[in-house]
Amino acid sequence: MPSPADPLAHANTAWLSSLSPWPERFGLERMKELLDELGHPERAFRSIHVVGTNGKTTTTKQVEALLAGEGVRSGATISPHVRGWAERISVNGTEAELERALARVRAPAEKLRATQFEVITAAAFAEFAAAGVELAAVEAGLGGRYDATNVIASEVVVLTNVALEHTRWLGSTREEIAREKLAVIAPGAKVVLGEEEWTEPAREAGAGSVTVVAQEELARTAVELVLGRAVRAKAAPAKIPGRLEWRGKRELWDGAHNPAGVAWLVRHLPERRWTLVCSILGDKDVDAMLEALSALASTLVATSSFNPRALPAAELAARAASLFQGVEAIDDPAKALARGRELSAPDGYLLVTGSLYLLADLVSIEEAVRA
């Protein structure tokens, strides 16, 4: 067996990272072919499907934890990740052995030229089947109708909330986006909503029942519906990398990446002297995000993640210039973080936000330095 330091120990993960994150065209045909080649692992477990704009990962992990707490062997697959690809697949709250999970799907995935998300989704389903998972919480990636996760006929579907995002693919209004997300509903499925306005669209999509609850009750309600009984405890706050993650006493990382996410973040942060380090993808509502963030701080260090969709630091800085008293542009995210720490010292607070991809890049840089 190769040692952890041996590149061969991470060969499948390196292969996954090399794949295209985007399909040439959206559709489920290739994903269905891949699962057919794998013997349909997605049919080996029951599932709760989580869709929405914000809060999907938190809800998904809470579902997994509640199920495990009820003695149900549970699994979860989430996206994107911050610490590493292994974050995306877990069984009973423990990350799966990623190399093994990817090895199960690599050969047919290479033959079919599957995308990154198709591969990691298929690997999750194969891992759940191999691990004897009874119920899995499955977070959708982009939208719902053509998302690679939309190959499971989930008994319960959770729609957390809907805001304008990915309008190029999902539609230009919240109503159009909601219908794309609700397209994952299998006929007769039980649907849990965090916003009442989607009740009728959910019924039109085939929901057998619709329950509207507060955001913090989404996971518990979904679990009770799938189990057909009350659960003993409420969902505990999920500790997820990059979501209100304090890194020391004065530095907070949060991957808020759209106006609704930023608005929630601003409402929940304590009043402090904040300095911001920020990267935003170009296909987001950049100006609305910057305006909301300007209520928190007067100083912003603009940077850029390594994601090709990220705005260049100089462009982000230019768009922020009229909203902040002090704006600096630093392309390198590690240098931007160092500058943010310098500006916030000694008694201020630092917020790193705008993109989960920025947080993931910073974690990777930290790990490379430690190695």
Output the CA torsion sign for 359, 360, 366, 369.
Answer: negative
pLDDT above 50 (res 71): yes
The reported pLDDT for the residue numbered 310 is: 94
Going by their DSSP bridges, the two strands 245-246 and 209-212 should be labelled as unpaired
Which H or E run includes 212? Answer: strand 209-212
Per the model's pLDDT, the better-predicted residue between 269 and 166 turns out to be 269
Per DSSP, the residues of 69-83 read HTT--EEEE-SS-SS
Q: Which conformational region is residue 152 in: left (phi greater than 0), alpha (psi within -120 to 50 degrees), or beta?
A: beta
The reported pLDDT for the residue numbered 149 is: 97
What are φ and ψ of residue 250, in 5° steps?
A: -130, 10
Of the candidates 157, 178, 158, 154, the residue with the CA atom closest to the CA atom of residue 166:
178
Place 308 in a pLDDT band, splitting at 50, 70 and 90: confident
The reported pLDDT for the residue numbered 239 is: 77
pLDDT above 70 (res 90): yes
Return mean pLDDT, the chain: 92
pLDDT in tens, 208-246: 999 999 999 999 999 999 999 999 876 666 678 888 999
The reported pLDDT for the residue numbered 169 is: 66
The reported pLDDT for the residue numbered 22 is: 78
The reported pLDDT for the residue numbered 371 is: 65
pLDDT in tens, 317-340: 999 999 999 999 999 999 999 999
Residues 6+ apart with CB under 8 A from 81: 87, 88, 241, 356, 360
d(CA 84, CA 13): 10
pLDDT in tens, 257-269: 899 899 989 998 9
